[in-house]
Amino acid sequence: MRPVKFASLLLLAAATAAAAQPPGVVIPDWALPDSPTHKQVAPPLDFHREPVTLNKPIGIFENQTDVGAALVPGDASYDAADKSYTITSAGYNIWYTRDEFRYLWKKMSGDVSLAAAISWPDPSGFGDRKAALVIRQGLNDDSVEALVAQHGAGMVHLARREVQNTRIKDMEYRVGSRGGLPGGATPDSLMPLHASRIGIEKKGDVFQLWVSWQGEKMHPEGAPITVHIKGPFYVGIGFASHLPAAVSTAKVSDVVLENKAGRMK
Amino acid sequence: MRTILLAAVAAFSVSSAFAQSLVPPPAPPGIDVPDWALPQSATHKQVPPPADFHRASVTFNTPVGQFDQQTDVGGPLAPGSATYDAAAKTYTINSAGYNIWYQRDEFRYLWKKMDGDVSLAATVNWPDINDFHDRKVALIIRDSLDDGSRQIMTAQHGNGMVHISWRPEKGSQMTDVEYRSARQPRAGTDEKGPQTFHPTRIGIEKKGDAFQLYISWQGEPLHAEGAPVTFKTNGPFYVGVGFTSHLPANVLTAKVGDVVVENAAGKVR
């Protein structure tokens, strides 16, 4: 049913063209990302796809799910030596009223400290791809959730879907340097800075973003938000290429996951 | 009382990026503005001042609040001024000035001299949020009052951007690390484009040669943001609060409240 055979072809396409449409995969227009030739829009309100769960534990996580069943399946591996997860996924986005991403999760109740370092095997990939630390009520694509995500272009946000099948809201942070990072065309070119580490803390219904931008001690960033998520819920790490049918890859390292607040490190 | 109110307002301060004026107002009549001094706009590409261009700074022997003296660094084309409201613990600073950037600066500077470690923090409020977006209030530590002095500072811009920036050598170009926060427009409202978060409070700490930026974005405890920057001061230095309109001949106004200026590290709050 799902075109596994296109996966390797799509790997090649992901780095170069956001819009390259693989043969045999029909991409709905609403699923295309913003580009000079397309204005990104929300999915139709009644559009949903069932999650595909694999029964495949990985590292500290109980299982894996392609939330919202992207048009091509995801994949993940765990390197026990350096304790890092490599997640490969397509997925139009984690935004609007529904999500598509590969999710590595476990079930928990109570408070949570979840933190990780994100890196990009292909730094030139699509700027809007995102690796996320996600706490969700369910595995359905439109679930209530709170998440912290780091994007390919460096942006970090704390996002939440307060009510099922409603539009996500966020608070975004962008950091860059003029003259202090390599690669600028001129000394005045603004070059993006990628965070050293990101985290999300759940204390009751209150969720706080934590960041270390340049190796400084992890600290809360911005105001906490309130989302009502009742136990047991899903906690884990996810990745979406922000391309409906093209996979891309993120590496998630040094994951801290504790069933308590105040354990951010 | 009033400062508490201002802080509460600042904690939830959001504005549309498009509400900020991106269009520089025309210079007042009778003032000749060199082309290089104009800010970036749809019709002009911003450039550095000519390498040999300097203007003498103008110092006023008028103490204000916690500061001993005031200087129009780089002698902007229109003079600045400043007042202190002790009841509200708030400075009102009026200044023109092409910028605090490249190899020279133009701004009104309220300063005192110090040696050793420093904690400096403040809450910035804009009397008119729609003024020119690139204006900035800066907490500045510098070698001298010259327009091209070595310096390190943190500044909050009218468009919400906060940076730590430094000029490592006299007359050299500045380098910075910039922080921006916003949220996407809310569905079902008439919001258009990203809505900027203006920080609640900013600070800078000097501990030996290590300078650390501090930010509170939305009322959370003031925290270290990013890595410390290494910068060596040359003996006693100037410490204070500055403001520039980022317009060579137009005076704009900033309010700077609850200023902490202490001759020790670890006192940013």
Q: Where are the domains of chain B?
A: 2-23+85-186+197-262
* Chain B residues within an 8 Å CB radius of A179: 173-176
Q: Do B220 and A222 touch (CB under 8 A)?
A: yes
Query: B2-23+85-186+197-262, what's its fold?
Result: Jelly Rolls (2.60.120)
CB-CB contact of B53 with B77 (8 Å): no
Tell me which of A1 and A63 has the higher pLDDT: A63
pLDDT score, position B188: 86
Query: Would the pLDDT of A21 be above 90?
Result: no
DSSP β-bridge partners for residue A241: none
**Calpha distance B156→B34 (Å, rounded):** 26
- For an interface test with B, give the residue of A163, A219, A264 to mutate (most B CBs within 10 A): A219
Query: Would the pLDDT of A88 be above 90?
Result: yes
Per-residue pLDDT band at A20 (split at 50, 70, 90): low
Q: Do A173 and B177 touch (CB under 8 A)?
A: no
Model pTM?
0.91
CB-CB contact of B139 with B95 (8 Å): no
A193 touches chain B (CB under 8 A): yes
Sign, CA torsion B233/B238/B243/B249 = negative
Q: How far is CA B129 from CA A187, B41, B159, in A?
A: 30, 18, 9
CB-CB contact of A71 with A90 (8 Å): yes
Side chain identity at residue B168, one-letter code: P
Give the one of B178, B181, B219 whose C-beta lies nearest to A177's C-beta.
B178
Residue B258's nearest CA partner among B200, B198, B179 is B200
In the predicted model, residues of chain B with pLDDT beneath 70 are 1-12, 17-19
Q: How far is CA A176 from CA A181, B101, B163, B176, in A?
A: 8, 16, 9, 8
pLDDT score, position B18: 62
Q: Do B178 and A175 touch (CB under 8 A)?
A: yes
Which pLDDT tens digit goes with each residue over A135-190? 999 999 999 999 999 999 999 999 999 999 999 999 999 999 999 999 889 888 99
Q: Do A172 and B183 touch (CB under 8 A)?
A: yes
Residue B60's nearest CA partner among B45, B51, B70, B50 is B70
Residue A147's nearest CA partner among A138, A158, A163, A131 is A158
Query: What are the DSSP E strand ranges found in chain B?
Result: 14-16, 58-60, 69-73, 81-85, 90-97, 100-101, 104-105, 107-114, 118-125, 136-142, 151-157, 162-167, 175-183, 195-197, 201-207, 210-216, 223-224, 229-230, 237-244, 247-262
B194 touches chain A (CB under 8 A): yes
B225 touches chain A (CB under 8 A): yes
Ranges of H-type helices in chain B: 2-11
DSSP codes of every residue in B74-111: T--SS--EEEEETTTTEEEEEEEES-EETTEE-EEEEE
Conformational region of residue A62, where left means phi above 0, alpha means psi within -120 to 50, and beta covers everything else: alpha
* Chain A residues within an 8 Å CB radius of B227: 213-216
- For an interface test with A, give the residue of B178, B196, B198, B212 to mutate (most A CBs within 10 A): B178
User: What length is written for chain B?
Assistant: 269
Q: In chain A, pLDDT over 90 holds for what percent of residues?
A: 86
pLDDT score, position B213: 98
A169 touches chain B (CB under 8 A): yes
A178 touches chain B (CB under 8 A): yes
The CATH number fitting domain A4-18+53-179+190-258, selected from 2.60.120.200, 3.40.50.150, 2.60.40.10, 1.10.10.60: 2.60.120.200
pLDDT score, position B14: 80
Element (H, E) at A145: strand A145-151
Q: So what's the ipTM on this one? A: 0.91
Q: Where are the domains of chain A?
A: 4-18+53-179+190-258
- For an interface test with A, give the residue of B172, B174, B184 to mutate (most A CBs within 10 A): B184
